[in-house]
Chains A and B, each alone.
Chain A
Amino acid sequence: MTAADWLHFLALHLSWSLLAVGGAMTLAPGLHRELVIDRQWLSEVQFQDCVTLAQATPGPNVLYIALAGWTVGLNAASTAPAAVKVFLPGLGLLLALGGVLLPSSVLTVVITRWLHHHRERLAVRAFRQAMAPVVVGVMMATAVVLGSAVVRGGPCTGARCTLCGRPESHRGQRDHRRTDAGESALVDRGRGRHRSVACGGVPGLTRTRKTPDSPRVTPTCRQRMNVAAIPTLAAAAPAGA
């Protein structure tokens, strides 16, 4: 990666910062598209690992972006001159996390100060009070969505077959099975239901549709899973970090 590449990397993260309304996971599809598919700075598996690890370890989920930056740096370090090698992972991490947090943080601080300065205004006081029911509603919806996902038996990874676009099913990750060759084949289960989780921080915008009857294994769908959606339902819930 050249210096220009690193600048582009930083610019990408800065541009995403103000778009992350509703949480850091809303950025996942964009990140994936840019870093894994378009630029190939990161492999599919590495990206998935970043997200999984960030959710499995304590702390806000936004750190998956930092880890992705670290991994990009690691990847770049493999082809970099020895003098720079050791700094690249750290650089990637700083540019990623700093870039994605800086604009929104500045905005937050500025607005907080403005609101505090004008806190006696009726509109300001009304606004703060008015959002209270919404907040409680969003939290409860999150709890419902998370809880029902657990009851249904595990998170929906939102993964899709890259060819047919059909999502992995809740009840069976069995629906997308890995063949002996390590590829993934879509195994149709007749009238099973598929659910898909849309991106955008929406608490499980699920669509239920019946699959058409079709042969047991669809020969055209032998592609590796493409995780283009939010990996777990927990991440899709709005009250996550």
Chain B
Amino acid sequence: MSGPANLPAPASAARGPRNAFELFVAFSVLSMQGFGGVLGVVQRELVERRGWLTHEQFIEEWALAQVLPGPNVCNLALMYGQRQMGGLGALAALGGLLALPLVTLVAVASTVRAGADLPGVRGALSGMGAVTAGVIAGAAFKLLWSLRAHTLGAGPAVGLAMFATGALSVGHWPLLAVVALVGGLGFAGTVWHMHRGRRS
């Protein structure tokens, strides 16, 4: 991903899926664990359990997936699959992400009527919200830790991240504004750093 053009695979990625089926299975397993939000599970599976991506690579992929239109976890699957195995990989990854949950969902919907007004449902959703919050918080802290090797330097990178966090959660700025502002600052800073690195 950030290696020289003539290497067949990024040297920093430890392993990858061996074939499209394995990619499909990996994303299926991952997806079925994600109640209320798959993204934290994606990070845990791909980076920590399987070692297919490093933290830094995950952040880069995720950033792009977030910015592009469409569900960010679907974009992530497409991007990762496409990197591994081209169009087939993209389909395999997205298919894995969606197929089993879709079948489950239709099956459940056909048999159960889970209205938001049923007594247990609110509690269940609230509980899932708690778990999702925890998983995402864990993932976020691990990614924060990985920022210390950032081009901008650990201080500025973490500072930008904290600024974004505060702006979004406390200041309630719109998402796009924060992404544009912090992303723009980060971009300017990174370009400047890289230029300096090139010239010296």
Q: Is the CB of B75 within 8 A of A108?
A: yes
Structural contact, B136 and A60, CB atoms closer than 8 A = no
Is B150 interfacial (CB-CB < 8 Å)? yes
Q: Which of B2, B37, B66, B108 is packed against the most chain A CB atoms within 10 Å?
A: B37
Taking the closest CB of chain A, its distance from the CB of B40, in whole angstroms, is: 8
The interface size bin for chain B is: 35 or more
What is the bound-complex CA distance between A54 and B163, given in angstroms?
32
The reply to whether the CB of B23 lies closer than 8 angstroms to some CB of chain A is no
Q: Which residue of chain B is the closest to A159 with respect to CB atoms?
A: B116
Number of interface residues of A (CB under 8 A): 92
Tell me the smallest distance from the CB of A61 to a CB of chain B, in Å.
Answer: 7
- Name A61's contact: one of B36, B113, B198 (CB within 8 Å): B36
A interface footprint on B146-185 (CB within 8 Å = 1, 0 otherwise):
0100111000011111111101110010111011001100
A146 to B36, CA, bound (A): 11
**Bound CA–CA A65/B130 (angstroms):** 24
> Is A28 part of the contact surface with B, judged by Cβ < 8 Å?
no
A114-139 CB mask vs B (1 if < 8 Å, else 0) is 01100110110111111111111111
Residues of B contacting A: mostly: helix
Distance to closest chain A CB from B38 (angstroms): 5
Task: Give, as a whole number of angstroms, the nearest-CB distance from B193 to chain A.
Answer: 8
- Contact flag A144-B108 (CB < 8 Å), given A56-B124, A60-B71, A135-B143: no
The answer to whether the Cβ of A57 comes within 8 Å of any Cβ in the partner chain is: yes
Q: How far is the CA of A109 from the CA of B137 in the complex (A)?
A: 29
Q: Is A125's CB under 8 angstroms from B2's CB?
A: yes
**Residues B52-91 near A (CB distance < 8 A):** 56, 59-60, 62-75, 78-79, 82-83, 87, 90
What residues of B have a CB within 8 angstroms of the CB of A105 in the complex?
A: 70, 74-75, 78, 90, 94
Contact count A vs B, C-beta below 8 Å: 345
Known: A134-B179, A205-B174. A239 touches B164 (CB 8 A): no
Are A57 and B104 touching (Cβ within 8 A)? Answer: yes
Residues of chain B contacted by A55 (CB below 8 angstroms): 36, 125, 128
Give complex CA distance A157, B129 in Å.
13
Contact pattern, A 137-180, Cβ under 8 Å of B = 1, otherwise 0: 11111111111111000110100000000000000010000000
With known contacts A108-B70, A149-B129, A155-B125, A239–B136 Cβ distance under 8 A: yes
B182 near A53 with CB under 8 A, answer no
A48 to B: closest C-beta gap in Å = 5
> Measured between C-beta atoms, what is the minimum distance from B89 to chain A in Å?
10
Instruction: Offer 20 A-B interface pairs, CB within 8 angstroms, sorted by A.
Output: A18-B69, A21-B176, A58-B35, A59-B100, A60-B38, A104-B68, A108-B79, A130-B187, A131-B59, A132-B63, A133-B158, A133-B182, A135-B62, A136-B161, A136-B164, A142-B140, A143-B134, A155-B122, A155-B129, A202-B172
Please give me the 9 A-B residue pairs with the lowest Cβ-Cβ distance, nearest first. Answer: A59-B101, A137-B164, A104-B70, A131-B63, A146-B133, A141-B168, A130-B186, A143-B137, A133-B160
List residues of chain B with CB under 8 Å of any chain A CB.
1-2, 5, 31-40, 56, 59-60, 62-75, 78-79, 82-83, 87, 90, 94, 97-98, 100-102, 104-106, 108-109, 112-116, 121-126, 128-130, 132-134, 136-137, 139-141, 143-144, 147, 150-152, 157-165, 167-169, 172, 174-176, 178-179, 182-183, 186-191, 194-195, 198
Binding site for B on A (CB under 8 A): 17-24, 45, 48-50, 52-63, 66-67, 70-71, 93, 97, 101, 103-105, 107-109, 111-113, 115-116, 119-120, 122-123, 125-150, 154-155, 157, 173, 200-206, 231-234, 237-241
